[in-house]
Amino acid sequence: MIQVHVSGQVLDDARDRQHTGEAAPTPDEVRRISKRLRAGIAHLPDKEYTEQLRKRLREFAAEQDMELPTPDTRSAFWSYRLEDHPTVDVEAGEQLQSMHVAAAYTEAQNSIVEDTLRYLEGTPGGKALGELHLWDANVQRALKLDRDTGTALAYDAWGALSQRYAATTETEALFFMAELNPGAVAYQTEAPQLRRDGKLDIIDFMYPPPMGKYADLAPETQELLASRAVRAQVHTFGYDENDPKYTPLTKAGHLDLEHLKSLPTPEAQRAAVLEVCARVAAMDGPARAADVEKYVEEIKVLRPDHEVALPNSTDLAWAHEARAQATPVVSTHGAFLPGVEVNARTGPQQIQPPEPSASAIAGAHFLPGVTLKPVPAPAAQVPSTATTSQAPPAPEQVRGPTLAE
């Protein structure tokens, strides 16, 4: 498990980036952006106009250059803010956003060896999308959008670009976060893309896991939860199904720590963790069908009388539709959890078989002996504590109510 050493110089650079923020567009830039994006659709009724604008922004994202500068270039991903870290001296009360840490660390690494690392906002595609200033209130007003709609469109466009960024990641995916948050693009878009591509093994977390959450669990369970394979699939945050960022993947990937602590043996706890991983793998689709089977096989050994519950057919159909909007990719890696064997995916020429239709998925039974049924919602909803003092340039930092951090 990697834990990045953040030098004082990197930390100061990150603070400067956060303090300076993104330069607001001039009135002339706002007019040019609005004219460009509204051309040919400004006359449409509100609902149709919004949908056409969304499509236009996604098409723009799809056209951008997201290729790796070199085959060995690593990719940085980020989420929310820097919290407890053994090598970082964050000042009392300081909330340093991980996006700035990732950017500063990337630039420091590249000053030593050019193109050794990249981050989304620093890529040609990220810079091009950033020049549209989709998070800026003046741009949103010029586009005739209210704040919520404008933010949703910005989130969607950056999410589309993030998916392509993840799809082109090869050697290492360095996640500047302690854990995945279900309200973040890293959880909803980037990590699923990497998993579907068979690249679970290249994900490394640059911040230590939140071990305080796991204090009452068996040592074996704590070790499992700290593994990068589990951290790259599950989340432990409460959620609200009425939150605009909620998706069926949020429900599928939720690990209830209180329930986990109530289980009497390390074996039962391991089975519960693997069951969440199996649900996530099922949501990832046919590319991970073998992974689901491996998880289920081990769960049945650990808890022979336990009924394994995978996502229901409706949620699987939603996941199918979400994947259909993503860029097709091929699988070139293979790795998994400690003690779980998974067949490696090989060769850049390997083409994924076509997925069945959403209607076929909705009517299908996933695995023999495995129940498809709803995953229970968490007992307690945890309100978000996310805050931001400036217009964010990336999808997950959206103003207004969000899923819990």
Residue-level pLDDT at 329: 41
- pTM, full prediction: 0.82
From 68-77, 218-227, 369-378, 394-403, the region with the lowest mean pLDDT: 394-403
Q: Which residue has the tokens 């650079």?
A: 13
How many alpha carbons fall within 13 Å on the CB side of residue 111? 8
Q: Which residues contact 153 (CB under 8 A, 6 or more apart)?
A: 50, 53, 54, 57, 134, 145
| pLDDT band (50, 70, 90) for residue 23 | confident
How many CB atoms are located within 10 Å of the residue 72 CB?
A: 12
341 has pLDDT over 80? no
Segments making up each domain of the chain, as ranges: 1-208, 218-328+357-384
* CA separation for the pair 168, 193 (Å, rounded): 10
Tens of pLDDT, residue by residue over 236-295, are 999 999 988 899 999 999 999 999 999 999 999 999 999 999 999 999 999 999 999 999
Helix ranges (H only) for 285-403 are 289-302, 313-324, 358-362
Q: Are 280 and 182 in contact (CB under 8 A)?
A: no
* CA separation for the pair 244, 4 (Å, rounded): 33
Both tokens assigned to 146: 């209210």
